[in-house]
Amino acid sequence: MKVELARTAGFCFGVKRAVDMVYEQVRRYEGQKIYTYGPIIHNEEVIKDLAKQGVKVIHSEEELAQIKEGVVVIRSHGVAKSVYDRMEEKGIICVDATCPFVKKIHDIVAKESEKGSHIVIIGDGAHPEVEGTRGWAGDRADVIQTHEEARQFVHENKSQKLCIVSQTTFNYNKFKDLVEIIEEKGYDIIVLNTICNATKERQEEARRIAGRVDAMVVIGDEHSSNTQKLFEICKNECLNTYYIQTLDDLDMNQLRSVETVGITAGASTPNIIIEEVQNYVRINF
């Protein structure tokens, strides 16, 4: 069987940097309490390993309010401005592992809303990155995720400029579609495509591979939105696409009768899991 592993599978730059930064703090602040604001990545294996080393996860600003001391690492998704303010008030050490590409969006949104633009974020409003980005635009932000929401979008103040940005992991073609729908409404718009290249490249490579193989395996945590999107893209090209979290989820029977298998993985999938799956498929089929 021929196995094709995507070059772009696994940790992206921002996630690798954030995970490395947490391990760095474990060494640096030995004996002190270390927290991450939200799970550092959507991957249970990594979270379990960090928990073993004493790293705890804070889930909300309310939980943050209970902490009196220690170090809090902000994950690559970033957070709202209010979270930084809260830490500063409390004198907690803040280690900012926000991905620089996300930070760039915070800066754009803060600057544009200060200039008086209305912010529109194309993305999933329930995703922590979008929640964080919203928190840099005051209360002047709308989030649009679907074609229907784009069609129904109305901004009362027609003369106010709209500044459209996107969640870094949003599908590029869908972003273009939604922007087009909003553009047709005749607002004064500036559009900043803030989709991260890592995502686009990963999605394009996955699409290409899925289009030429008999079966496709997508590896990632079930809560990882970018892995879910990868799965959707691959499934569109190749009906035999399987979503697994670890090697244990791989159903050998599904790959029995195929000749070529493609493998890709979401941005938060550790290399070790990808290697395990790849080696297993190469050796056993």
- Note the residues at the interface with ligand F3S (CB under 6 A): 12-15, 76, 99, 101-102, 168-169, 196, 198-199, 267
What is the Cα Rg of the chain in Å? 21
CB of 215 to ligand F3S, least distance (A): 26
DSSP string, 26-86: HHHTTTS-EEEES-SSS-HHHHHHHHHTTEEEE-SHHHHHH--SSEEEE-TT---HHHHHH
Of 80 and 267, which CB lies nearer to ligand F3S in the complex structure? 267
Of 118 and 205, which CB lies nearer to ligand F3S in the complex structure? 205
CB of 13 to ligand F3S, least distance (A): 5
| Start-end of H helices in the chain | 13-28, 44-52, 61-66, 81-90, 100-114, 128-134, 147-152, 172-183, 197-212, 225-237, 252-255, 271-284
What is the three-class DSSP state of 166?
Answer: strand
CB of 255 to ligand F3S, least distance (A): 28
Residue 201 corresponds to which tokens in the numbers above? 């490249």
CB of 100 to ligand F3S, least distance (A): 7
Which residue's C-beta sits nearest to ligand F3S?
A: 14
Of 76 and 117, which CB lies nearer to ligand F3S in the complex structure? 76
Of 163 and 196, which CB lies nearer to ligand F3S in the complex structure? 196
Known catalytic residues are 129
**Angle, CA of 19, 22 and 27, to the nearest 5°:** 130
CB of 243 to ligand F3S, least distance (A): 19
CB of 284 to ligand F3S, least distance (A): 31
Of 162 and 196, which CB lies nearer to ligand F3S in the complex structure? 196
Strand partners, 72: 35, 94
Of 118 and 200, which CB lies nearer to ligand F3S in the complex structure? 200
What is the three-class DSSP state of 254?
Answer: helix
**Angle, CA of 163, 169 and 174, to the nearest 5°:** 70
What is the three-class DSSP state of 4?
Answer: strand
Distance CA 251, CA 244 (A): 9
Cβ within 8 Å of residue 216, ≥6 positions away = 206, 209, 210, 234, 235, 237, 238, 240, 241, 242, 261, 262, 263, 264
